[in-house]
Each structure stands twice: as C-alpha cells, then as structure tokens.
Amino acid sequence: MLPASNAYDFPLLIKHLLTNASRAHARQEIVSHPNTRLSYETFERRVHQLAHSLNNCGIEDAMRVGVMDWDSNRYLECFFAVPMMGATLFTINVRLSPAQLLYTINHGAPDLIIVHRDFMPLIDEIKSGFERDITIIPIGDGDGYEAWIGKAADRFDFPDFEEARTATLFYTTGTTGNPKGVSYSHRQLVLHTLGLLVGFGVWPGDAGFHRGDVYMPLTPLFHVHGWGFPYAATMLGVKQVYSGRYEPDSLLRLIADEGVTFSHCVPTILSMLLERPSAAHIDLNRWKVIIGGAALPRGLQDRAAEAGICLHAAYGMSETCPFLTVADLSSDDPQIQAQTGFAGPLIDLRVVTPDMEDVPHDGETIGEVVARAPWLTQAYLDNAQASDALWSGGYLHTGDVGYMREDGSVQITDRLKDVIKTGGEWVSSLALENIASSCNGIEDVAAIGMPHEKWGERPVLLAQAAKGANLEDLRTSVLRAVQSQVDAGALSKWAMPDLLLFVDQLPKTSVGKLDKKQMREDVLKYSDIKS
C-alpha cells in the first residue's frame, strides 16, 4: 500500500520530544537555582532564541557546539536547541584534567563553545593548544547568557532531516587511556527516551517515574546526557529543578523546598547528602533515587533505607546511552535487593563466554555482559580499532562480568578489568566492598588487585573511615567480617586481603566512579606487596 501523497513520514527527532510538553504543560515550571523559574512555554521560546543566537554566530547544519556549564536551564536549552537546528551538541566534561580537556576539545573539534565564567580559567589555560579556530561565548548565571539570547527572535524554523543525524557527542572518562568520543543520533535518543519512560514507569504504586514527579538530576548534564532523564522529564512535562553547583546543603534545601521526588546519582553523591547533619531534618520518604555509574555499597544502601529513600539501581555505560537494566533496591527480598536488575524494553542482554556462547542461567556461572539495543553507540569517533573491539561478535561488549538467573535478571559482579585474579581463582572486588561497607565506621571502600609474583594478584582494601573511628578496631572488624564469609564458604580463601589501608579520601573519576587505576598507583607508594 502506497502512503497518501501528503502523509507525514514522522522522523524520530529531538524536536518532537518538546512538542506536546510545551502545549499540554505550558505553565509547568523549570527551576534553575538560585533564582530562575521558567514555564515550559517560556522554555520553548528560549530554545528558539538560543538557536537564532547560535545561527547568528555562524553555527549551521552539522557543526558542533560545545557546552561548559553547571546544571541549569541554560544547559537544558542547549539539549534541545543545538540538535534541533541540525548541529551536534558536544557536552564537555569540565572535571577532566587540563590535558584531557584539551585532548577532547581538539579531537571533538567544536566550532563554538558556550563557557560559564567559572570555567573560563580552564579555557584560558589550554586555548593556546587549540588546533582550530573556536568561537568562545562566555556566559554567567544570568547576565551574559540572557544578554546573548535576549536580542534574538523567538521563532526558529527547526527543519526536518534524517533521524540518523548525529545529535550529541561526549567523551568517556578515559581511566585506561585517552577519552573516547561517543555519539548518538536523534533516532537513538528518542528511542532511549521512550525506553526510559517504559522501563522506569512500570513499577507498581508510586515507585516509578511519572507526570506527578518533581525531577532533579544529581548527575552532571555532561555525563551521558544527564543519564537521559532530562529528555524524558521534558517529554512528560514534569516540574524540573536544576541545582547549579553541587553543594550538599543547597541540594537538600532544594529537595525540601521544591518537593523533589525523583533524582539519580552515583553512590558518592548520595553518601555526601546523607552525611550532612541537615539531612536528618528533611523528610526523604517521597524521594525516589536511581543509583548508577558505580556499584552501591550495601552499607550505603542500608543508610538510604533508614532515611526512607526509595532506591532503584540502573545499569549501563557511556556507550549504551546508558540504560540497560533496572532493579528495585527497596524490595524486602534480599535476592532482589542484590541484583543489577532486569533488561529494559527492546534490550537484548546476554552473559557470554569468550567464544560468545551463553553461560548457563543458573545464578552462578560468570561471563561477560554483552548487549544489543536500538540506542547503543555504533562506533567511537575516529577510532576504528576500539570500535571493532567494542562490537566484536555483533554485540556491544560492556567490559563487565556477572551472571544471569533463570528469570533473566542479571547480577554484575565486577568490571572485567577489576576482577582480582589470585591463586588461580577470580575474586569479586564488589563482594569485598559490600562486606567492608557493612561494617560500622566505614564511609567508603574499594577493593583492588595488586601484582604478586607468586599468586598473580592479591586483594587490597582501601577504606575511608568515619570521623573519630578507632582505626585498629575498625581494621579488626573488617577483616573478621571477610573471614566470616570465607569460613561460611561464601568467599574463596583467596579473597582475604593482604592489606587494609585507611585513606582520607578515595580517588574518584570526573563522574564520581572509583578510580582504581589511581588507587593501584597510590598503593605502590605505601607498601611493597610484590613478593
């Protein structure tokens, strides 16, 4: 059957995520700390003004626009205006080292960068190394940006184009080499948005993400599109709150004052908030939090439950846009609490051997997690070798190891690179971290494998103790807890750590993950464990 001559072949474009929200929820608020409140109607008008402003600066179809800003309405406006005009949004990680920042800018080749004044010193430090002419638009929280877009017309003709057009670009954190460029098309982002809404909207009762929620991301917007929820929240037309700088007491006040019900963050951020004395005076019983980016230590999970927080876990990575699985951590079932979760809609998730054969779904047999989904990145920017390795065998390789249960749920046990290989056995660093984090007085902990001449590697624990804790008593408590799991047969004898080192703070990557590469380098400074 031939379509009607005037039928509209609806392309999956980011502009269509905004259409109904700006109409049906025109008066709903988008709040940007400290003093900006916009209606969706005003937000859409500003998206048009930003597109005109970029166009007036020479930005045209297929060019790249970088952004260096705090989480704000300005950033959200860039999420829409830049790809809607046919350009590529380049979300620049402001927490990278100057050398890595320069590398990503030169490799990503933006034509223009919008830079908050707080980050101009970074640009001034590295701009002599720019390999091309880049227009820099310096802005402030209100004055610079408002003056820039305020002169522009409030209607821009956003064209239709191929949904395969690149919409976004960002770079991985680069803990194992130079950061890699990851890009996504309009089609991928629209499908990912729909996948999020289905995957997180089907939970019973009030546990899911829905139009009644008040959304505040606690994941920087430069990190995998703020995990994709800004697009989903805008499509739903929910009230959104953007916090600017991540200051713990300010975040807690926003949660209370704006009635925030839905957020997502890495464990580090959640721990930071719960440690504040003011957290005890805020009702967190309506707050739903998605934990991702790193494994949630069991001790932190228990503290969140005591505060009344409804916890879910999401699993994914930069290369998966990132949504792959979701798990309900607020369940009373310990088996459910412990799992990484179930694959979301349209996601083909497998656990395989090195030969790409499925491992038994027995909840025990370990393999690498691989995936297919309509929103996975297809390649790294200008890195064919890494792209081929990423998609070896026709599935995207996550680099994570775990097992699958009979019901299809998945449990990640470690990063492939973080598994501790000792005495001919694999020891899960996550298992050790969960045991240690459950001990009173442990604020944060990491397990790493260090080279050993006889045994290949040996486990070492690095821990951050609570203020005032007796370190020797705490050391005894942690080692006894690990030993009890060995005695019970839950852990191999090889899992007993050779060292437990207390540090003031564990090193983290720019997106809040444990930086185990740096830890291994640091441990070598403290102790010789090679023999």
Which residues are designated catalytic? 172, 319, 421, 426
Q: Is the peptide bond before 34 cis (omega within 30 degrees of 0)?
A: yes
Please tell me the distance from the alpha carbon of residue 222 to that of residue 171, in angstroms, as a whole number. 9
Cα–Cα distance for residue pair 231/247, rounded to 1 Å: 24
Full strand arrangement of the beta sheet holding 112-116? 135-139, 112-116, 64-68, 88-91, 166-171, 181-185
Helices (H), strands (E): how many in the chain? 16, 24
Report the amino acid identity of residue 236: L
Phi then psi for residue 35, to 5 deg, are -145, 25
CB count within 10 Å of CB 352 equals 17
From the list 512, 387, 500, the residue with the least C-alpha distance to 439 is 500
Considering only CA atoms, which of 217, 249, 264 is closest in space to residue 71?
A: 217
- Give the span between the Cα atoms of 522 and 531, in whole angstroms: 18
Q: What CA dihedral angle connects 524, 528, 530 and 531, to 10 degrees?
A: -170
Q: Which two tokens stand for residue 480?
A: 């006894």
Residue 111: strand, helix, or coil: coil
Beta strand 64-68 pairing with 88-91: parallel
Residue with tokens 């400074």: 525
Residues facing 369 on adjacent strands: 351
Structure token pair of residue 299 = 């001790």
Write the burial class of residue 483 (CB in 10 Å: 0-12 exposed, 13-18 middle, 19+ buried): middle
* Spatial distance between the Cα atoms of 442 and 422, rounded to a whole number of angstroms: 25
Largest Cα–Cα distance of the chain, in whole Å? Answer: 79
Residue located via tokens 């081929």: 388
- Cα 257 to Cα 229, 251, 252, distances in angstroms: 21, 10, 9
- Do residues 375 and 184 lie in contact, with contact meaning Cβ atoms separated by under 8 Å? yes
Burial label, 259 (beta-carbon count in 10 A; 0-12, 13-18, 19+): middle
Q: Rounded to an integer, what distance in angstroms lies between the CA atom of residue 354 and that of residue 94?
A: 36
Rounded-to-integer distance, Cα 271 and Cα 129, Å: 38
Type of residue numbered 186: H
